Structure 1
Amino acid sequence: MERMKSVSWGWSLLVLAWLGSSSATLSPSGINYEVVALMTIKAALRDPYNVLESWDRTSVDPCGWRMVTCTPDGSVSALGLPSQSLHGTLSPAIGNLTNLESVLLQNNHISGPIPSSVGMLEKLQALDLSNNMFSGEIPSSLGSLRELNYLRFNNNSLSGPCPESLSNIKGLTLLDLSYNNLSGPLPNISARTFIITGNPLICGHKGDANCNTVLPEPLSLPPDALKASGIRSHRVAIAFGTSFGSAFFVIIFVGIFVRRWYKHRQQSFFDANDHCDPEIFMGHLRRYPFKELWAATDHFNSRNILGRGGFGIVYKGRLKDGTLVAVKRLKDYYTSGGEIQFQTEVEMISLAVHRNLLRLSGFCSTEHERLLVYPYMPNGSVASRLRDHIHGKPALDWSRRRRIALGTARGLLYLHEQCEPKIIHRDVKAANILLDEDFEAIVGDFGLAKLLDHKDSHVTTAVRGTVGHIAPEYLSTGN
């Protein structure tokens, strides 16, 4: 017994040590360095309206989190938190999100210095920290952001000189440093629109006549006309440049958002109308048309979300006959194997039938979507019931907890030892233990790691599961 305790404690120390040392790289360890960076950023901020509630340190994939956008290969590409009443500071951990292309934190109450680690974001194209409370100097490291198009630091409390290194950024469309406390000479910056107005130590206290401001494009007027226009025209040009730059910046990002939304919506309807087969039954397994699940979940409305996990988002749905179901929309459909392979894996999962296992009712597979359909569990998960207890709702009594634990063990025993072919769960946690109408334990989410890895071997290319619930040997070896 003492030896078993010692071994268990040793494994615990190994896992803790691994978690503490793996913030620099992604996976063979199964720890996503981007999750670590985002959670560090969250810890440095005060979030009065819980807009970052979906950011979960136990996740191995942040792409389902609110305000986070990812590339198709799963890397964090955009962080958009404008006008969210955030306080606190911006953590230097942002420099670890090396695939970021845009950071939008405008119109908050974030204070402290701008981290110099922002200069490590070599792919960054847009950085907007305007209308906050940032102080200190502008980091000279920003000069290494050669892809930067839009940079807005206006309406903060920044001081010191404008870094000479900013002249290294040749593709700037807009640079707005207005209404700070900057000083010193201005470098030769090649931005189309460079706004420096509102900095008294540069522009003077009586107006902007001494400001060096680069306008959107050289005006096609003769020199005499330029002289005659005087200061009034100069101010009008500054105002025009400010408005033009701001509007152009907003239009660009609204356009990107609308284009992605329209493309996604168009693709979804394309799938629904053209790619889904009619109802097909394979044993007890049914193949659903996409448009039926689309309608059942009210177009995958966020109000119907039952939970988010490492494999996708689960929605509550009501079929045409009134049956309640849970629809899991797999997030890695773009990396999944071919149609035949997917069906084979789904059929394999459906063969695992046990009173303590969640029965797969059916699926939908299109060129761009992979959906799994399960019976709806009215009492949620063990994790949600434990949270209910925290919030003052009736707790699970001891006899019911004991029955849940035993039911879970029976389900896992069947999966790991008695099922053919055997299925290793790989993500056992309270959120994946569901409760039926009689509070019987129903083990869910089994087989999904294999389903999304597409390898014939037990050695997989990526560790899947939830940090804190992964077997130590799997965490360290991937086997």
Structure 2
Amino acid sequence: MMGRLISICLWLILVFHLVFRIAGNAEVDVLNALRTHLGNSNDVFQSWNIIDVNPCRWYHITCDNESSVTRVDLENANLSGQLVPQLGQLTNLQYFLDLYSNVLTGPIPTTLGKLTKLRFLRLNNNSLTGQIPTSLTAIDTLQVLDLSNNKLVGDIPVNGSFANFQPISFANNRLNNPPPAPASTSSGNSSIGFIAGGVAAGAALVFAIVIAWWLKRKPLDNLSDVPANPEVHLGQLKRFSLRELQAATNYFSYKNILGRGGFGQVYKGRLADGSLVAIKRLKEERTQGGELQFQTEVELISMAVHRNLLRLRGFCMTPTERLLVYPFMVNGSVASCLRERSESQTPLVWDIRKQIALGAARGLAYLHDHCDPKIIHRDVKAASILLNEEFEAVVGDFGLAKLMDYKDTHVTTAVRGTIGHIAPEYLSSGKSSEKTDVFGYGVMLLELITGQRAFDLARIADDGDAMLLDWAKGLLKDRKLEMLVDSDLNGKYTDVEVEQLIQVALLCTQASPMERPKMAEVVRMLEGDGLAERWEEWQKEDMVLQESNQTRHPNVTWFIPDSSSRIPPDELSGPR
């Protein structure tokens, strides 16, 4: 069958791509070397899978738009072992501020001096030994340094970037001499110092001691991260200070990580008033002058108010951080309920799955038809659909990819999304529209029905397809509906309702975006209006195309059931 041949060819290409990436991705090699040298008693590295050759999808890793590693977050993780010299190969690393409060031993690798883009280096509260490498003084970009509370020995370098750092950066070691307080500069880039000329040495020394004492009382990692006017509200949103969110998450401890999406890690937090929140720490770097754009986008997102959309509670914006604060969803995501539930958790029953399908459709329809400018989600999947106390669907992460101007028919940007959910036209051209969301929604419906992942290489071992959509079509063609439905349902579902949901999923995942329904139409079909007519119309079109294909390819046989069959027809391969 031609579709099967095309699928095999695509997977061969993917396999070659994976082999190439595994062999050539130096950053993966470096991170795996780090993992093997650090203790992992708390499963910190459980997502660091060498088969997944994109480290940007690993927990505790942040990348830029070019998929280069810029940040590694492993603070307060009870890690032991030593830092590896290979870290010097992470040449795009900017924030290496996440190894403090561990039990690391051994020396600081001299190769860290090769990290010419490094801005933050925090290795405090460990048991590091040896001398401070003089190579670090050559990092002109270094803004924050904290090597305190270790077992370092020898002299403290006083040249280069180290001239900007105060004794508190090196406190509680076995070092010989603290660096002198630096002179201020006209550019204002120097840290605390004394005014050269005309100031008595004694007065300068007293001033430096007072400032050092003040710094010791004030956590160093907050110096450049406290936003101005933290009490300012943007519409109905509160502007949180970074200090509040750090306290809520125990300084973004890995223990509070709820998950990771395409835009950053999400942490569970408890605010001072006792309320639970989910804090999304956006991973993309801020650009100069981007504050107004960020505030505008946040304000537009906050205006999308619907019972099936995740409400934005507030935000935080600093020179180094952008964070969004949402209410905490006690039942997690659809993906976690389908595939990551504990033995004590009850599987999602069929009526709740139907409720989720309708709620998610209503939320997306609101984004497309009732927001101005309309909002295209661009990463609709089971992991993006959250569940409230009543297991009602709440669409999350909307608006983070791109706000679509109502005058545009599509948006062209770098492709974002999750493999298995990405519409073919978006993958090939980078053009997204509301119909790309419809495609992702259709795949999400199949996740709801099957409990399977949208992309799973393990299915190939069972003579199936890695892509859920192709796997489902194969089972439908072979009339194996019972194998398609999630076994966790234990047969407690209605055949007719399953078939109707499958029909909606197939209509939403048609190859041509023009032939897919709008989300408003999907809502109506799920509510019982128009599905039979739309399905019959699609069957007729497929039958005409089938006859045409059989004329050109007489040796190919296609399974198309008659209109009375309970099994939906297989969609013909290729674009139509």
TM-score (norm 1): 0.52
CA deviations on 1:448-474 (whole Å, 9 max, x unpaired) are: 9x99xxxxxxxxxxxxxxxxxxxxxxx
AA aligned opposite 1:217: F
Quote the residue 2:25 is aligned against: 23
**Runs of 5+ in structure 1 lacking a partner?**
1-9, 25-32, 193-213, 277-288, 352-360, 388-400, 420-432, 452-479
**Distance verdict in 2 for CA 1:11–1:292, change over 3 Å:** closer
Distance in 2 of aligned mates of 1:342 and 1:74? 21
Distance in 2 of aligned mates of 1:385 and 1:74? 22
DSSP 3-state at the match of 1:141: helix
**Distance verdict in 2 for CA 1:349–1:76, change over 3 Å:** closer
The answer as to whether partners of 1:329 and 1:372 remain within 8 angstroms in 2 is no
Quote the residue 1:172 is aligned against: 164
Quote the residue 1:107 is aligned against: 101
Instruction: Pick one of 428, 439, 451 that aligns with 1:380.
Output: 451
**Distance verdict in 2 for CA 1:50–1:339, change over 3 Å:** farther
Q: What are the equivalent positions in structure 2 for 1:166-315 lying under 5 Å apart?
A: 167-169=159-161, 172-174=164-166, 176-183=169-176, 190=182, 216-218=193-195, 223=200, 237-238=208-209, 240-244=211-215, 247=218, 249-252=220-223, 254-255=225-226, 258=241, 267-273=297-303, 292-294=308-310, 301=329, 304-305=332-333, 306=335, 314-315=383-384
Distance in 1 of aligned mates of 2:461 and 2:192? 72
AA aligned opposite 2:153: S
The answer as to whether partners of 2:310 and 2:396 remain within 8 angstroms in 1 is no
DSSP 3-state at the match of 1:98: coil
CA deviations on 1:31-85 (whole Å, 9 max, x unpaired) are: xx3x443333222211322344343433344445443344455443333333222
Quote the residue 1:412 is aligned against: 470
Percentage of identical aligned residues: 20
Q: What are the equivalent positions in structure 2 for 1:92-103 lying under 5 Å apart?
A: 92-103=85-96
CA deviations on 1:151-181 (whole Å, 9 max, x unpaired) are: 2212212223334xx5122772446223323
The answer as to whether partners of 1:169 and 1:190 remain within 8 angstroms in 2 is no
CA deviations on 1:284-342 (whole Å, 9 max, x unpaired) are: xxxxx87733259x75859624369x978723435999765887869865999x95336
Distance in 2 of aligned mates of 1:95 and 1:17? 24
The answer as to whether partners of 2:379 and 2:437 remain within 8 angstroms in 1 is no
The answer as to whether partners of 1:170 and 1:190 remain within 8 angstroms in 2 is no
Quote the residue 1:90 is aligned against: 83
Distance in 2 of aligned mates of 1:243 and 1:179? 17
Matched, 1:128 2:122: yes
Deviation of residue 135 (structure 1)? 1.2
**Distance verdict in 2 for CA 1:145–1:245, change over 3 Å:** farther
**Distance verdict in 2 for CA 1:78–1:348, change over 3 Å:** closer
Deviation of residue 106 (structure 1)? 1.5
**Runs of 5+ in structure 2 lacking a partner?**
1-11, 185-190, 228-239, 243-279, 283-290, 313-325, 340-377, 426-433, 478-483, 492-497, 514-576
Matched, 1:141 2:150: no
Quote the residue 2:428 is aligned against: none
The answer as to whether partners of 1:330 and 1:371 remain within 8 angstroms in 2 is no
Matched, 1:78 2:108: no
Q: What are the equivalent positions in structure 2 for 1:337-352 lying under 5 Å apart?
A: 340-341=409-410, 349=423
AA aligned opposite 1:156: N
Distance in 1 of aligned mates of 2:330 and 2:388? 17
**Distance verdict in 2 for CA 1:293–1:121, change over 3 Å:** same
AA aligned opposite 1:315: S
The answer as to whether partners of 1:23 and 1:37 remain within 8 angstroms in 2 is no
AA aligned opposite 2:81: G
**Distance verdict in 2 for CA 1:75–1:130, change over 3 Å:** same
Instruction: Pick one of 129, 147, 150 that aligns with 1:153.
Output: 147
Deviation of residue 414 (structure 1)? 8.9
Deviation of residue 265 (structure 1)? 8.6
AA aligned opposite 2:384: Y
**Distance verdict in 2 for CA 1:96–1:58, change over 3 Å:** same
AA aligned opposite 2:222: I
Deviation of residue 139 (structure 1)? 1.8
Distance in 2 of aligned mates of 1:252 and 1:45? 29
Worse overlay, 322-331 or 135-144: 322-331
Distance in 1 of aligned mates of 2:36 and 2:110? 19
**Distance verdict in 2 for CA 1:140–1:234, change over 3 Å:** closer
DSSP 3-state at the match of 1:169: helix
AA aligned opposite 2:452: S
The answer as to whether partners of 1:316 and 1:324 remain within 8 angstroms in 2 is yes
DSSP 3-state at the match of 1:133: coil
Distance in 1 of aligned mates of 2:424 and 2:13? 34
**Distance verdict in 2 for CA 1:301–1:58, change over 3 Å:** farther
DSSP 3-state at the match of 1:41: helix
Distance in 2 of aligned mates of 1:363 and 1:384? 17
CA deviations on 1:273-293 (whole Å, 9 max, x unpaired) are: 2xx6xxxxxxxxxxxx87733
Distance in 1 of aligned mates of 2:15 and 2:455? 28
**Distance verdict in 2 for CA 1:154–1:325, change over 3 Å:** closer
The answer as to whether partners of 1:71 and 1:77 remain within 8 angstroms in 2 is yes
DSSP 3-state at the match of 1:293: coil
Superposed CA RMSD: 6.0
CA deviations on 1:121-165 (whole Å, 9 max, x unpaired) are: 1111221111111112222221220111222212212223334xx
Instruction: Pick one of 25, 28, 37 that aligns with 1:44.
Output: 37
AA aligned opposite 1:271: I
AA aligned opposite 1:168: G
Distance in 1 of aligned mates of 2:207 and 2:384? 53
Aligned residues: 343
The answer as to whether partners of 1:160 and 1:181 remain within 8 angstroms in 2 is yes
AA aligned opposite 2:220: F
Distance in 1 of aligned mates of 2:456 and 2:410? 36
The answer as to whether partners of 1:167 and 1:188 remain within 8 angstroms in 2 is no
Distance in 2 of aligned mates of 1:138 and 1:311? 45
Q: RCO (CA 8 Å, sep 6+): is it higher in 1 or 2? A: 1
The answer as to whether partners of 2:96 and 2:120 remain within 8 angstroms in 1 is yes
Deviation of residue 239 (structure 1)? 6.0
The answer as to whether partners of 1:45 and 1:86 remain within 8 angstroms in 2 is yes
Distance in 2 of aligned mates of 1:167 and 1:182? 16
Q: What are the equivalent positions in structure 2 for 1:389-468 lying under 5 Å apart?
A: 405=463, 412=470, 435=486, 437=489
Quote the residue 1:317 is aligned against: 386
